[in-house]
Amino acid sequence: MTAQTNNPKEIRVQAIKNGTVIDHLPAGFGLLVIKLLGGMPARKIVTLGTNLKSYARGTKDLIKIEDRELTKNEVDKIALIAPNATINIVRDYRVIKKIKPHLPETIKGAISCPNPRCITNHEAMTTMFHAHTNKKQVAILCHYCEKQFSQEEMVKYI
C-alpha cells in the first residue's frame, strides 16, 4: 500500500479517509471548481491535482476535500463547468456514493452575470440563471437581463 502509484484510482481511494473526491474534471478546471464551491473550506485539507493522467481524455484535474461531503446543491453547481465530472463521497476509505452532477434548471449565486449593464452587477443581490439544454449545448439565461450565454462564456465569471 504505497501512495506512490501511477494508478489514479488508487490514489483516490486510498488517499482520504472521509470526504469528497471530485474526479474527471477537465484539466485546468480544478481551481475554478474550488472557487465555484465558495473557496477553500476553513480547517479542511484540500488537495488539488492538476494535469493528471486520464485514460479517457489524456489529462484531468482532481480535487480531494477531507472531512467534508458535498451537498447535492453543490454537486449540481459543478455541472455548470464540468458536466462530466464524477463526485465520490468517501467514508472510512470507501467510496459510498458516486454522484454525477446534474445541471439544475435554476442556478442561484455562485456566478456573476457577464453583462456589465445587468442590474445584478450594480446592486447587492443574488444572481439567478436558468439553464436550457438544446442538443447537448447548454445555454445559460440571466433571470434579470434576459441575456443568454454559453457555458464557455460563463466559466470566466465564476
Partner 1 sequence: MTISFEGRDIISIKDLTRDDILTVLRIAKQLKEKPQPTLLKNHVLATLFFEPSTRTRLSFETAMKRLGGTVIGFADANVSSASKGETLYDSIRIIGNYADVIAMRHPLEGAARRAAEATIKPILNGGDGANQHPTQTLLDLFTIHETQHKLKNLHIALVGDLKYGRTVHSLAQSMVHFPCHLHLVAPESLAMPVHIVHDLKKNHISFSLHHTFENILPKLDILYMTRIQKERFSDLLEYEREKNTYVITAAMLTGVKKNLRILHPLPRVNEIHPSVDETPYAYYFEQAENGVFVRQALLALVLGKLS
> Which residue ranges make up the annotated binding site?
113, 118, 142, 145
Is the Cβ of residue 40 or residue 125 nearer to partner 1 in the bound state? 125
Across 99-113, b (16+ Cβ under 10 Å) vs e yields: bebebbeebeebbeb
The 3-class SS string of 124-145 reads CCCCEEEEEEECCEEEEEECCC
Selection from Zn ion, partner 1, none that 148 binds (CB < 5 to 8 A by kind) is partner 1
Cell of 39: 473557496
Q: Does 112 interact with Zn ion (rule: CB under 5 A)?
A: no
Mask 87-126, x = binds partner 1 (CB under 8 A)?
Answer: ----------------------------x-xxxx-xxxx-
Is the Cβ of residue 13 or residue 128 nearer to Zn ion in the bound state? 128
Is the Cβ of residue 88 or residue 120 nearer to Zn ion in the bound state? 120
Radius of gyration for the chain, computed over Cα atoms and rounded to the nearest angstrom: 17
Cell of 119: 442590474
Distance of closest approach, residue 139 Cβ to partner 1, in angstroms: 9
Is the Cβ of residue 4 or residue 106 nearer to partner 1 in the bound state? 106
Contacts of 139 (CB under 8 A, 6+ apart): 131, 132, 133, 148, 149, 150
Which residue shows C-alpha cell 446543491? 73
Q: Does 144 interact with partner 1 (rule: CB under 8 A)?
A: yes
- Catalog residues that contact Zn ion under the rule CB under 5 A: 113, 115, 118, 142, 144-145
- Catalog residues that contact partner 1 under the rule CB under 8 A: 115, 117-120, 122-125, 142-148
